[in-house]
Chains A and B, each alone.
Chain A
Amino acid sequence: MSSATREAKNIRVLIAMLGLDQHEVGAVAVTGLLRDAGMEVVYAGRFNLPRAVVKAALEEGVDVIGLSCHSWEYLYYLDELLALLREHDLDVPVIVGGSVVTTGDAQALLAKGVRAAFGPTATPAEIIAAVQELAGAATQPRARSTAPAP
């Protein structure tokens, strides 16, 4: 575990799905996994556009944004989401995960600025470790923002 890793109990994670992706099994399972690991999970569920995800991240002061996907919609929404985060000066790492994420997709995501991308071969330990490391790398524990939502 790296020195920058933050203790699980001090980590807030947003879990969301984008567009009309309805298959929620992965999102619910990851939420359970991170909660079992001691983290606080804000579950935004299905039917979010990038704006709603960024708004929730701002309002909830999360350390990490986790996007769960079982459709390819994330491929098209991700640029907008990353641009909105930059626009709001919100340095929250984004993690993408789902069975539809191929090795090629994962590489493309990392090149765009997603901080970690997990396909179907990811183990629970790998996911938890990545969230802890990315949260630990954040400069300060994030206070809840009162800034106007995008």
Chain B
Amino acid sequence: MTERRTQSRIPLQPVYVPADLAAFDHAAKLGEPGAYPYTRGNRAHGPGGAGWIQRELSGEGDAKRSNEQLKYLLERGQTGLDVIGDTPTMGLLDPDHPLAVHAIGTQGVSLCCLSDYRDLYEGLPLERITMSHSLPAVFAVAALHCVARERGLAPAVLRGSVIQAPYYCEDCSYAVHMPFKLRVRMAADTIAFCAAEMPKFHAFIEDTYFISESGLDSIEEMALGFVELRGLVRELLRRGVPIDRFAPRIAILLNCRMDFFEEVAKIRATRRLFARMMREEFGATDPRSWAVNIAAHTSGLTLTAQQPANNIVRGAIQALALACAGVQAIEVSTFDEAFRTPSPEAHLVGLRTQQVIHLESNVGQVADPLGGSYYLETLTDDLERRISEMIESIEARGDAAELSDSGWFRGLFQTAIERHARGIADGTTAKVGLNVHRVPEADDVLLREVAERKIEPARERIAWMKQYRTGRAPEPLREAMAALDECARDENANLLPAIIAATESGATMGEMSGTLRRAYGHSADPFGYPDAPL
């Protein structure tokens, strides 16, 4: 008989019995839902009728087209928004960059200046709806701040969130071609600025989904996430920002794969680890600082290009695990994920999956419905210990900047990718339709036409950019960019006010990124193209 293991290769017993929890201290390990150590959830009650924030990944073409996409989802009952930039945007390049030409708006929305953000948010109630921004944080927050003030809204009322990915972005997706020190500064500046100016906004989203889609297991995902989160917390404390000023708005955006109980246990272990770390290590005294918000995406990597309808089932199983784990927000990766960002048809199925679980399955009626299970509690303990040990072993290796620059993190991601690929190739990781229960290609037709539909690059943005650049008043722009340059060279200054001023004067993200790179001794263009004529 083959050995029983979780997907993270944790050995399992055939059955779990009362003796497995004989020494289990319920008060210390679990407590009540909504109370320290928050293992059972950060609220006293299950989500009940209100449900969790239900949203689907959006962003396609230019900002106007993406705005229509957002409204399409809201009209169909979506309760939050989730927008991702296209690859040029995520890489801090304007759409008229020579490398961007065939990638504009095909895998997310193309955003590079204030007028784009005006179009993106048009007609959306920014003070009521929460928008999760999978976008370059410092530039998205600056633009959101500007749009809110233009509408007469105080930035303090703004809700929503933005991801931070300073440690690993060069190694596992969405490289921004900036030195580690600058990446950390941009993240910490954004969080410190929002703690003061936008206190309802979650500017500190530790995004472990982003990193784990390279094939990390649950332990590696959370350990690397905590290493980054702890590094940013220390950086903010070093600057003198009190822990209870920013910790209540920390959230973790994590991944949910197919191992149902391991993912539920991971989320419970994460809440406990976070609570203990905040109270005992960082000295937070506000209970809101101990209770981390968890948002989650179901895993795109677990989906297959073969028999795309099977992906609907995978999404439902993963979303059910998340509902049982008591997360605050869910996004279901859609059935066409292997081919494209979501089509309207796939968007609707993803959203309906959540609505069916929420309104028909009754799982949200009770907080932590799986709590107390011999298996789940044993696995939660095991994951907590393994994640803790891995955090310690990484931190014992020394400075994160050196681990990043020396390629140590990169090596970890590569090992994970190769392990994932081997598991599928040799069949140890079963994937229905891919390495088991395959069908002849000619018979694999269900939903294929929708999934294979391509998105044309929004190349009209290139001509639009040319006009945009020449249409700006040169003097205020020059002054704002000079001020940004000066600010960037003073490491004690917060970049946000200067980025906001430059954004208002019409500067593009590509131009501002170039100025920041130059201030840190790098060429403005990461690919060696001539600097923008500013």
Contact = CB atoms under 8 A, between A and B. Distances in A.
Interface in A11-52: 19-25, 28-29, 32-33, 46-47, 49
Contacts of B441: 103, 121
A123 B425 CA distance: 7
A23 B173 contact: yes
B305 A120 contact: yes
Contacts, number: 91
B472 interface: no
A71 B87 contact: yes
B307 to A, nearest CB: 11
A138 B455 CA distance: 37
A73 interface: yes
Contacts of B301: 25
A115 B174 CA distance: 30
A10 interface: no
B414 A28 contact: yes
Interface residues of A, number: 30
B175 A28 contact: no
Contacts of B101: 19, 76
B100 interface: yes
Interface string B494-509: 0000000000000000
Interface in B505-529: 527
A119 B452 CA distance: 12
B305 A33 contact: no
A117 to B, nearest CB: 13
B374 interface: no
B451 to A, nearest CB: 9
Contacts of A77: 102
B167 to A, nearest CB: 17
Contact of A120 (B87, B214, B304): B304
A52 to B, nearest CB: 10
Contacts of A121: 305-306, 438, 441
Given A29-B417, A32-B417, A99-B339, A19 B306 contact: no
A22 B170 CA distance: 10
Given A20-B99, A100-B339, A72 B106 contact: yes
Interface of A: 19-25, 28-29, 32-33, 46-47, 49, 71-73, 75-77, 99-100, 102-104, 119-121, 123-124
20 contacts: A19-B102, A19-B103, A20-B91, A20-B93, A21-B87, A22-B173, A22-B175, A23-B173, A25-B214, A29-B418, A32-B417, A72-B454, A73-B103, A100-B340, A104-B452, A119-B305, A120-B304, A120-B305, A121-B305, A121-B306
Interface of B: 87-88, 90-91, 93, 98-103, 106-107, 172-175, 213-215, 301, 304-306, 338-340, 414, 417-418, 420-422, 425, 434, 438, 441, 452, 454-455, 457, 527
Given A20-B88, A24-B172, A121-B305, 6 more contacts: A20-B87, A29-B420, A33-B421, A47-B527, A100-B339, A120-B338
The list of the 7 closest CB pairs from A to B, nearest first, reads A120-B305, A29-B421, A32-B418, A20-B87, A76-B102, A73-B102, A28-B417
